[in-house]
Structure 1
Amino acid sequence: MDRSPTPSGGVSLDPLSRLALGVLMPGFSGSTAPRWLTRAVADGLGGVMLVAQNAPDLETTRALTAALHAAGPVLISVDEEGGDVSRLQAGSGSALPGAAALGAADDLALTERAGAALGALLRATGIDLDLAPVLDVASEPTNPVIGVRSFGPDPQQVARHGSAFLTGLHTGGVAGCGKHFPGHGATTTDSHLELPRLDVTAEELTVRDLPPFHAAATAGLDAMMTGHLHIPALGPRPASLEPAVTALVRTLPGGADRVIITDALDMAAVSDGDGPGL
């Protein structure tokens, strides 16, 4: 990465390096921003991803995000779904019900209120983007990675509740990212450990897995996360690295301008296989 001196005594990046920084969203260790991170933010880093160790309590999290935002215009995100998946309340457990409970209650107003409460919490801690809602359809009971993170096994139910949750996040003041496109709910393999293969036709995918993503896109979804799963009907590579999948995201309402984020690149599904740089 080429750094050249500026008249003020700082450094400036070459255009290619700045473009590369603009599409990265790294994590980091600790609950204070390391120097390399604030410098990268000042140089144009696109985003920062928080996990539980970065957010031991709300006050520390707020101080951290304030320091990052002061360094430059950066998007701060967190993987906060409520229920079993919580980073800000990892020690005590989330105060909010998870997607499966909300889907079982089947009260859209309740789901929207839960999303609004979560959005308000994230907004208060200085977070910009929540990596939720989960829009996977829980069509495979033995799925080891989605399970209760889904609003249910029915595509239309997931579509309704995913859209309601997104509306709540917006009310609370944060953006939402749907995941894991084009649908991780039918897999039997944990993509944190290896690459799942989903042998499904494009037509089956369209009928079963895509409706929640289409509904959330129509409701104003801000970003889409692609999943680490191989769907041969869509292309030869994992969905998160497959150009045809990116093109499919773009066909959804508002897709031309929607931010597309891959799932974590250190997950064994891709880090032990193709690798993100290939």
Structure 2
Amino acid sequence: MGLDPGLRRLALGTLLAAYQGPVPPDWAVDLLAEGLAGHTLFGTNIHDPAQVAAGTAALRAGRPDVIIAIDEEGGDVTRLAHATGSPYPGNAALGAVDDVVLTRQVYAAIGAELAALGITVDLAPTVDVNTADENPVIGTRSFGADPARVAAHSAAAVAGLQSAGVAACAKHFPGHGATVADSHHELPTVDVPPALLRQRDLPPFAAVVDAGVRAVMTAHIRVPALTGDGPATFSRAVLVDLLRREYGFTGTVITDALEMKGAALAAGGVGPAAVRALAAGADLLCIGAKVDADLVERVATEIVEALTAGRLDRGRVEEAAGRATDLATWTSAPGMPKPGVDGLGYAAALRAVRVEGDVAELAKPLVVQLHADSTIAEGRVPWGLGPHLADAEEVRAVAGETDPEALRRLAGDRPIVLVGRHLHRLPGGPELVDALAATHPVIVVEMGWPGRWRPTGARAFVSTYGASHANGRAAAQVLGIAG
């Protein structure tokens, strides 16, 4: 016996799916006509602007008010520029500059680009306060470690995006900045009292609610005092009592990807996770990146079966689907996107660079880029100084496998510029820097989150607050080695 068509359509109206490749497959369009709320675009869906625009137009043929979402944060998390790196600096760089007018301008430019391509929801900005230097998943995606500064820039980012007619989605509620684990791989725990959350993590969310943010994304993190043993995504105390009642949010609550281990493992699969998230107060369920028609149908079936069995209240699911529709209606309002400002991102990245020490007269250094793994959120996006160098020679190395003496011989009488991301966390990274700096002029370029670590003996320590294409160009300019 098949699913009740009305309940299936209702369930589909709460789901944000995805598909592989540059052209939407038939099933992705057909499901939209049958009630699916929308799709999220990832790097595999992006080849060039004309192709993206054609893809979003094809999706609209299935449902005119389709939600088309993307993770376009600028900086280290980009989908549109995944092949080259973003032309915009990310939040950490904007926070370092600390010019809220600039932050609004950058996000307005990103929003204009998205609107021109037919994308309606940006799963940004990240408004987490990065209070843990060792945070493996937020870091440079955050405006900083000060709640007031993060709040001000978060509100500016939301205003910029939404001025272009693209809905902003602030993330990750109630705050992922104090974690030292990645919720893509496990369920992180933030074991603090709610009072500390209100003081440290929640001010940016209050600011974006006041700024009229259209959506908020849940965090797959455990806050025992509020969520018990499960993640915030499954917690009514977080999504209803805290976000809606205390902070007054009336927009759409979107889950982080339910395929992530922080949710799927806690629930026993994506389908059960969807049911638990809906029951807790989520409205639009991001299934994940690896989605096909069968997975969408399995999740919809799980929701329908929970409704039929009385484990899920129909009124709650109707409310969720209604909020998803409200989001789609807002983003489909007519309006012409404003063009971006040429060179805005590169100028912003240059303002963010901080130099401790002396970088004068480097005279064609040996540039050594140290390998660093990317997070799932970042993906394998090119980074570094390589595309921006003039006459400087560049080599790639693995910190823990590199002989300092071999680099000294290769450099000869040239200074060495060591480029890394979270260099102090790389196995053998600090040891390599210190060994080289003991006998050779060394400049360190940190393109990750610049924590407390500083190398001993280095001639200079340069912080870019991100590893986007714009950040790389800015670093090369400051060092005087740009092409």
Any idea what SS the aligned residue of 1:119 has?
Answer: helix
Unaligned runs of 5+ in 2: 277-483
Corresponding position: 1:79 with 2:79:
no
TM-score norm. by structure 2 comes to 0.54
Corresponding position: 1:249 with 2:240:
no
Report the counterpart of residue 144 of structure 2 in structure 1: 152
Q: Which residue type is aligned with residue 102 of structure 1?
A: L
Contact 1:177 1:222 (8 Å CA) reproduced: yes
Unaligned runs of 5+ in 1: 4-12
Corresponding position: 1:233 with 2:225:
yes
In 1: Cα distance, 2:98 partner to 2:132 partner: 20
Q: Which residue type is aligned with residue 253 of structure 2?
A: I
Any idea what SS the aligned residue of 1:200 has?
Answer: coil
Q: Which residue type is aligned with residue 233 of structure 1?
A: A
Larger radius of gyration: 2
Report the counterpart of residue 49 of structure 1 in structure 2: 40
What are the equivalent positions in structure 2 for 1:163-242 lying under 5 Å apart? 163-236=155-228, 237-242=230-235
Report the counterpart of residue 93 of structure 1 in structure 2: 85
In 1: Cα distance, 2:53 partner to 2:246 partner: 34
In 2: Cα distance, 1:42 partner to 1:2 partner: 18
Any idea what SS the aligned residue of 2:15 has?
Answer: coil
**Bigger mean CA deviation after superposition, 209-218 or 66-75:** 66-75
- Shift, 1:235, TM fit: 2.0
Any idea what SS the aligned residue of 1:230 has?
Answer: coil
* Structure with higher helix content: 2
Q: Which residue type is aligned with residue 263 of structure 1?
A: D
Any idea what SS the aligned residue of 1:67 has?
Answer: helix
Q: Which residue type is aligned with residue 20 of structure 1?
A: A
In 1: Cα distance, 2:246 partner to 2:76 partner: 29
Contact 1:2 1:17 (8 Å CA) reproduced: no
Q: Which residue type is aligned with residue 144 of structure 1?
A: P
- Once superposed, which parts of structure 1, at least 4 consecutive aligned residues long, lie more than 3 Å away? none
Report the counterpart of residue 16 of structure 2 in structure 1: 25
Any idea what SS the aligned residue of 2:267 has?
Answer: coil
In 2: Cα distance, 1:67 partner to 1:205 partner: 43
Q: Which residue type is aligned with residue 182 of structure 1?
A: P
Identify the structure with bigger relative contact order (alpha carbons < 8 Å, sequence gap 6+). 2
Report the count of equivalent residues.
Answer: 268
Q: 2:267 pairs with 263, 269, 274, which one?
A: 274
Give the 3 Å change call, closer, same or farther, for CA 209–125 of structure 1 in structure 2.
Answer: same
Contact 1:220 1:254 (8 Å CA) reproduced: no
What are the equivalent positions in structure 2 for 1:58-69 lying under 5 Å apart? 58-69=49-60
Corresponding position: 1:130 with 2:122:
yes
- Shift, 1:14, TM fit: 1.7
